[in-house]
């Protein structure tokens, strides 16, 4: 009986601490610090990923067919990687130094070196997806 009471008091203490910490958090809205223009990017952009160590942001330029690279340290656009087909998903894997870009229009996954974005021989995988007429994607 004593163990149950001690456990209950311990849990109640943790819950109280959690409620107090949530209540004391800053409730001010996010503030815009800076805008970084991306030249020639028109229309919708899609998913993004960040290279924390290299201080870069990768942005899928969906309607442009590009992967946009933003230098977060300098606070400016760095480069554009053209030739993609409606890029949507972007993932940077630091351990491999690779950027993976999923393309909707040709159902491919392009793989680029994270430092050069060399387009001479990008690795590419064809994804066998069936486009939905309605509802969910089927694989």
Distance CA 103, CA 90 (A): 9
Whole-model pTM: value is 0.69
Would you state the pLDDT for residue 127?
Answer: 67
What share of the chain has pLDDT > 90, as a percent? 37
pLDDT for 5-32, tens place per residue?
777 777 887 877 777 766 666 677 888 8
Q: Does domain 48-126 have CATH number 3.30.360.10?
A: no
Q: Where are the domains of the chain?
A: 48-126
pLDDT for 72-123, tens place per residue?
999 999 999 998 999 988 999 999 999 999 988 888 888 998 888 876 555 7
All residues at 6 or more sequence positions from 94 whose CB lies less than 8 Å from its CB, including other chains: 51, 52, 53, 114
pLDDT for 30-61, tens place per residue?
888 899 999 888 888 889 999 999 999 999 99
Q: Which helix (H) or strand (E) holds 3?
A: helix 2-23
């Amino acid at each position: 009986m004593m163990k149950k009471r001690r456990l209950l008091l311990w849990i109640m203490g943790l819950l109280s601490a959690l409620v107090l910490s949530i209540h004391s958090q800053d409730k001010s809205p996010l503030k815009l610090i800076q805008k970084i223009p991306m030249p020639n990017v028109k229309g919708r952009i899609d998913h993004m990923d960040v290279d924390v160590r290299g201080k870069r942001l990768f942005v899928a330029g969906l309607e442009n067919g590009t992967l946009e690279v933003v230098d977060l340290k300098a606070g400016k656009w760095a480069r554009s990687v053209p030739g993609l087909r409606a890029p949507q998903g972007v993932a940077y894997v630091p351990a491999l130094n690779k950027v993976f870009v999923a393309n909707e229009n040709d159902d491919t996954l392009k793989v680029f070196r994270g430092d050069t974005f060399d387009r001479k021989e990008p690795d590419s995988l064809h994804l066998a997806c069936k486009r939905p007429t309605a509802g969910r994607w089927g694989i």
